[in-house]
Structure 1
C-alpha cells in the first residue's frame, strides 16, 4: 500500500499552521485500503526531504469533487476563503472521467510528530536491515538492540529466513520473543523450541512448483517445517557460500526430492534468480500467476520467494501481536525489500532503509540510513529528542 501523498509547499505550510486538515484525492484502487487511524506521509512535491506525518481521523466518500465541495469546509480544504473554493480546480489533477469511474475522497487528519515514546514494539527485518552487507550484526547494532531491551521495548524479528538458519543471529539481537520466519510462513518460539503456527503451500502445487523449477535447472531451496531441501544445479555459488551441509547438517538435505515432497509441509521456495536469464525468470512469474494457493515475491536483488497465499510477514505479525497481546497501535517496522511491505501495512509506523526500492520507500512513512551504518542508535537518538 502506498503511504505517500505528494503535496504543494503552500498547502504543507497551511497544514503545519493548523489551517488545513483535509486532503482530497481520487478514490482509485491505490487508496481503497486507507482507513481511520492509519499514518500517512505527506511529501513536498518540490523537496522530497520535506515530509509531514498525518493520522487519518475520518474518510468521506463522494461521487465527484462537485459533491465534495458542497459538503466539506473550504477553509479546511486549504482555501483562504469560501468564495475561492471551486471544484474545477481539481480538474488540473483529475479528469471528470476519472472522477466518474472511481469517485473521490476527503481525508480528514491530524498532524503526527513521530517520537520514540509513541512505540513499544519494534519489528526488524534481518537481511538488508538488522544485518550489514557482510551478513553480520554490527557491534553498534548489538549495543542498540541491548539499549532497546533496557528501555523495555519489545523486539520482534521478521525474516525471510527459516528459523533454523536464523538461530546464529538471534543472540546478537537479544530478543526472547518468538520469531516470524520464512516471510510469515512459520512462527517459531525459539526460547521454548516450539512451532506456534505455519502456513504451507498446497501439496499438489508444491509438487508442480518443485518439478517446474528443477526442469529449469534453478538453484533453489525448499523450506519445510522440519528442515531445508536443497536443489543444487551448480548454476551459482549460492550453495558454496551458504555451506548448509556444515552449518546446519541436522536440518539440511541436498538432492532430488520429487517423490518425497508430499511427505513434507512446504512453507516456502527460495529461488536464486541469477541461475537463469530474466526471460526464464519471467516464465516463472507467468507460471506462478496460474497457481491458486501460492504466490511469488521479490525478497532480495537475486532471490524470489514462493509461498502460500495465506502467508506474509504482515499476516505472521498480526498473528503474533494477538498471541502476545501487544498493542498494534504502538508498533513500528523496519525493512528494505518487497516482502517487508506487508509488515508496513500492519504497523502504525514504518521505516524503509536507504537502499530500499522506490516502491518500498513509498509504502513506508519514514526512512533511515544504510544497514552498513550504525542506523538503529541514530534512529533512537533522532526521535528521542
Structure 2
C-alpha cells in the first residue's frame, strides 16, 4: 500500500548549511518509487521546485506554508492569499525598525523593506532575488505570505504577541525557525494542505508519515498517523506534541535514517 510521506525542508530535510546529503537523496529517490512524497515548506514555490528537482523525484508541494499547493504535475491545486488591508497593516507595524526585516511573497517575487542588516532567510538553495518595497507605492494585493526575520528574538516574540492580539482570527502565524516569524491567511496551513492531498489520493491520514521541526509544522504533524520531530526542533513543538517520536537531527540525516528503518530495512 502506498503511503504519504510529508517532509519539511529547513531544519528537517536540509542540513543546517541548507544542503541535501547524498544519503538523503538516495533514500528519498528509492522510496518515491513506492510512496507519495509531499514537500511542505514555508519557502516560495520556485525554491521548493528547485529542491524537488535536486531530489530528482515527483512530489506534491505545499509551499509558502500552504498558501500555494501543487500536484505531481506542478499544477496549482490550491491558492489562498492575505487580504490587502491586513497585509498593508502587517507591513506597517515594524517597517521602520532597523533590526527587523519585513518581507513578503507576491506572485513570483520576493520583497523586503530594508537590507540594513544581514538577511538570514534561505541564504542558499534559493533562485529568488529580493526587491525593495515601500509602503507608499507598493500594491499589497496577491500576497501569499508576510514574514519577519531578525537576530533579535525578543523583538520577534513581542511582535508575535502583538499580531495575535490584532488579527488572531484572520491569520495563521508561526515561527518556522526561531528567527523567522511567518503569517499566512487563516485558512492556509501545512495541515490543510496535507488533508487536501490525502483526499485527492484517497489515502487515510492514518497512512501519512510526517517530519518537521518548526511551529509551522504543528498541525501537519498532529493530524498524521505517524509524526516525527527532529532532535534540533523547536522545544515548544516537542512539548505540544509529546507523542511524536524524536529522531536524529537534520545534520545527522535524521529523516533519511528514520525512513530507512520504517520502509527499507525490514
Give yes or no for TM over 0.5: yes
RMSD over aligned Cα, in angstroms? 2.5
From the superposition, tell whether residues 176 and 287 of structure 1 become closer, same or farther in structure 2 (CA, over 3 Å).
same
**Gap regions ≥5 residues in structure 1:** 1-116
TM-score of the superposition, structure 2-length normalised?
A: 0.87
Alignment of 1:278-357 (within 5 A): 278-279=154-155, 281-291=157-167, 292-357=169-234
- Please give the alpha-carbon distance, in whole angstroms, between the structure 2 residues aligned to 1:265 and 1:277: 28
Deviation string, structure 1 residues 166-187 (Cα, Å, up to 9, x no partner): 2321123333233001111111
Aligned to 2:113: 231
Does residue 248 (structure 1) correspond to residue 131 (structure 2)? The answer is no
Cα contact 1:186–1:225 (8 A) shared by 2: no
Displacement, 1:309? 1.5
SS at match of 1:215: coil
From the superposition, tell whether residues 135 and 243 of structure 1 become closer, same or farther in structure 2 (CA, over 3 Å).
closer
Aligned to 1:178: 60
From the superposition, tell whether residues 230 and 376 of structure 1 become closer, same or farther in structure 2 (CA, over 3 Å).
same
Does residue 367 (structure 1) correspond to residue 250 (structure 2)? The answer is no
Displacement, 1:190? 6.9
- Please give the alpha-carbon distance, in whole angstroms, between the structure 1 residues aligned to 2:122 and 2:208: 38
From the superposition, tell whether residues 179 and 336 of structure 1 become closer, same or farther in structure 2 (CA, over 3 Å).
same
Cα contact 1:145–1:174 (8 A) shared by 2: no
**Gap regions ≥5 residues in structure 2:** none
TM-score of the superposition, structure 1-length normalised?
A: 0.62
SS at match of 1:143: helix
Higher-RCO chain (CA-CA 8 Å, sequence separation at least 6):
2
> Of the candidates 92, 113, 116, which is equivalent to residue 211 of structure 1?
92
Q: How many residues align?
A: 260
- Please give the alpha-carbon distance, in whole angstroms, between the structure 1 residues aligned to 2:182 and 2:136: 19
Greater Rg over alpha carbons, structure? 1
> Of the candidates 75, 78, 84, which is equivalent to residue 197 of structure 1?
78
Aligned to 1:153: 35
